[in-house]
Amino acid sequence: MDRRQFLKATGAASATMGSIGLGFFGYEAGRDPESYTGWETHEGAQQTFNRKRYARDYPHYKKVGPTSRADARTDVIFYRRGDFMRSWKDNTGIEGLPEHLQEYYRKHPDVLNQDLYLMKEIFPKQRADYRKYRDKFILASAWSNAMGAVSPTRINQPPEKSDFPSRRRFGDSSEPLKMKSAKKTSKLIKKIAHELGSTLVGIAKLNPDWVYLYPMRGRGFEPDKPLEVPKHWQYAIVVGTPMSWDPMYANPNYGTSNDAYSRSRIIAFRLASFIKQLGYAARPHTPGTDYDLMVPPIAVDAGLGEQGRHGIVITPELGCNIRPAVITTNLPLIPDKPIDIGIQSFCKTCKICAENCPSGAIPTGDRIEVRGYFRYQIDTAKCHTFWSSKLGNMGCRICVAVCPYTRKSNWLHKAALKVSVNDPTGISHSVLTGLQKRFYPGPDPQKYYIPSLGGENASYRPPPWWLRAEDFIEF
Ligand code: SF4
Ligand code: SF4
């Protein structure tokens, strides 16, 4: 046996032993409800303080006299001071104010003094210093404003209008800020994306092949004109968050994409707002349907993962439980590199998604050429027809739930990933697929259908307790 054969044989042996060990320990640990290995439910993880021994029959505030309600016009300081500053005139004084303010200030002359002091003494000084020192706080302000940005339901304007900032929040022009380097900016953008709540983030140079030839409705383009890829769509930042795990495992009925969709949507709008405040163009492309481009290949280009047999991007951290959004921009960035974590090899032998897909939409064969690229292609018509052949929430997502990569990030999942990613032989892929089929079996796919189509309204896993209607509602 030469050195190469020896290495291959020992690699195969350790991959096999590693996989079997994982299967054994994973099965044992999974029987313990405290282990959090991903196949038991786990409730209330965030709220850890036991309030029971501190409970009282009354709240700490006490009613000590006649009660009354607050007047928003005077008791909410932003409203009162706003009205006050708009209507105050030195020559008329308190008499020139609206009646409710006159009444208020007569009762509270000390507050009138404070409000006048703010307007006449403090504001002018702040404005003068603002010009001198504002640059120091540019990023803090951009971040804060981004956090406050609300996503409109639709963009409704073409990129040359909607993508560019009308004026920077700080500064007197809309000129882009001079960034020190693309490398530093990329680091900053990723940190901001995480601060905004994104679980994963990656950057790609935008390949125009991923932009739709004709636009989606309601995105500000003329619907019957080919979409010309705007020059300022140079980079694509991909952000993404997972769907809530326990309902996701209870697909096709109890899971929803809307939880992660809305989170990723808000993050994308906020990140676009942040970039615009630096003076650069930015356009969010967000789930459910507000995209001008195809997201999965961009997520692959951005190094978030590989596209699996089911057509969804599989990431090392979340498997395919990720709902991404994209921000196109001309902010100079350094793109990430695509990754190879062995998913193409794994999908060749696995096929679990195809076997569990109730509509037969996922191919069992090899990848094919689609618009010049080699990839798996699912039958979207069959998939979508199934969505109306079941009850519960819209969509299906069984392929997400059954994929062996879609497991909570715990020690077992991390160890299995380490074995499969580092196995040059592919042996662990077969072993892990076998263990997955053995320990995570799903119902017969026909059972997912509604009873009038021969099914049983089945779900891959039982719903979490908080979605069991029968336990809370009298029928
Ligand atoms: S969503 Fe459901 S029907 Fe569609 S491909 Fe996945 S498993 Fe099949
Ligand atoms: S279930 Fe298996 S075949 Fe399907 S995408 Fe996941 S790893 Fe690939």
Q: Is 357 in the pocket of ligand 1 (CB under 6 A)?
A: yes
Nearest alpha carbon, ligand 2 atom 1: 403
Say if residue 173 is in the same domain as residue 250.
Answer: yes
Strand order across the 282-285 sheet: 200-205, 235-241, 323-329, 282-285
For residues 266 and 362, membership in a common domain is answered with yes
- The answer to whether residue 45 sits within a structural domain is no
Q: Does 167 lie in the same domain as 134?
A: no
pTM for the structure as a whole: 0.85
137 CA to middle of ligand 1, Å? 48
Region of residue 301 (left: phi > 0; alpha: psi -120 to 50; beta: else):
alpha
Query: Which tokens is 151 given?
Result: 């996503």
pLDDT value at residue 238: 98
Residue 329 CA to residue 310 CA, distance in Å, equals 29
Note whether residue 56 is domain-resident.
Answer: no
Q: Give me the pLDDT at residue 19, please.
A: 59
Q: So what's the pLDDT on residue 40?
A: 44
Q: Do both 340 and 366 map to the same domain? A: yes
- Structure confidence at residue 469 (pLDDT): 95
Rounded to the nearest whole angstrom, what is the distance from the C-alpha of residue 347 to the centroid of ligand 2? Answer: 5
Same domain, 127 and 161: no
Decide if 454 is inside a domain.
yes
Q: Is the peptide bond before 288 cis (omega within 30 degrees of 0)?
A: yes
Ligand 1 mutation target, pool 256, 314, 377, 386, most atoms within 8 A of CB: 386
Q: Residue 356 C-alpha to ligand 1 middle, in angstroms?
A: 9
pLDDT at 37: 47
**Tokens 């060990």 belong to which residue?**
21
Q: Please check whether residues 131 and 155 belong to one and the same domain.
A: no
Asked if residue 187 and residue 262 are part of one domain, the reply reads: yes
Spacing, Cα 244 to ligand 1 middle (Å): 18
- Give the pLDDT confidence score for residue 421 in this predicted structure: 84
Domain membership of residue 188 (yes or no) is yes
d(CA 55, CA 474): 30
Is 325 touching ligand 1 by the criterion CB < 6 Å?
no
**Under-70 pLDDT residues of the chain:** 1-48, 167-174, 409
Tokens of 57: 């029959």
The predicted structure's pLDDT at residue 343: 93
Q: Which of 355, 334, 332, 367 is nearest to 445 (CA)?
A: 355
3-state secondary structure of 21: helix
The answer to whether residue 18 is domain-embedded is: no
**Cα 214 to chain centroid, rounded:** 26
Do 209 and 275 reside in the same domain of the chain?
yes
Does 403 contact ligand 2 (Cβ within 6 A)? yes
122 assigned to some structural domain: yes
Is residue 58 assigned to a domain?
Answer: no
Shared-domain flag, residues 135 and 153: no
Say yes or no: CB of residue 390 within 6 Å of ligand 1. no
Q: How far is the CA of 211 from the centre of ligand 2 (A)?
A: 26
For ligand 1, the distance from its centroid to the CA atom of residue 396, given in whole angstroms, is 6
Task: Assess whether the C-beta atom of 378 lies below 6 angstroms from ligand 1.
Answer: yes
Residue where a domain terminates, one of 101, 120, 139: 139
Task: Tokens for 313, please give them.
Answer: 């991007």
- The protein residue with its alpha carbon nearest to ligand 2, atom 8, reads 347
| Mutation pick for ligand 2 pocket among 249, 310, 433, 437 (CB with most ligand atoms within 8 Å) | 310
Instruction: Give the whole-angstrom CA distance, residue 353 versus residue 399.
Output: 5
In this structure, the answer to whether residues 126 and 171 fall within a common structural domain is no
| Of 416, 45, 384, 443, nearest in space to 244 by CA | 45
Our answer on whether the CB atom of 348 is closer than 6 Å to any ligand 2 atom is no
Domain count across the chain: 2
89/131 same-domain check: yes
Which listed ligand is nearest to 430 at the C-alpha? 2
Alpha-carbon distance values, 371 to 8, 257, 368, 464 (Å) = 38, 28, 10, 41
CA–CA dist 139, 142 (Å, integer): 5
Question: pLDDT per residue over 342-369, tens digit each?
Answer: 999 999 999 999 999 999 999 999 999 9
Decide: 205 and 332 in contact? Cβ < 8 Å. Answer: no
Spatial separation of the C-alpha atoms in residues 343 and 180, rounded to whole Å: 37
Q: 337 lies in a domain? A: yes
Q: What range does the domain containing 79 cover? A: 72-139
pLDDT digits (tens, 9 = 90+) for 267-316: 999 999 999 999 999 999 998 888 999 999 999 999 999 999 999 999 99
- Taking the CA of residue 397 as reference, the ligand 1 atom at the shortest distance is 1
Distance CA 204, CA 237 (A): 6
Phi (first) and psi of residue 353, to 5 degrees? -65, -40
Q: How does pLDDT run across 396-416, given as a tens digit for each residue?
A: 999 999 999 998 867 777 788
Give the pLDDT of residue 342: 92
Residue 376 Cβ inside 6 Å of ligand 1? The answer reads no
DSSP secondary structure of 372-421: TEEE----HHHHHHHHTSS-SSSS--HHHHH-TT-S-SSHHHHHHHHHHH
Ligand 2 pocket test, candidate residues 300, 320, 346, 398, most atoms within 8 A of CB: 346
Indicate the residue among 139, 159, 192 that finishes a domain: 139
Q: How far apart are CA 176 and CA 185, in angstroms?
A: 13
What is the C-alpha separation between 469 and 466, in angstroms, rounded?
Answer: 8
Indicate if 212 and 314 belong to the same structural domain: yes
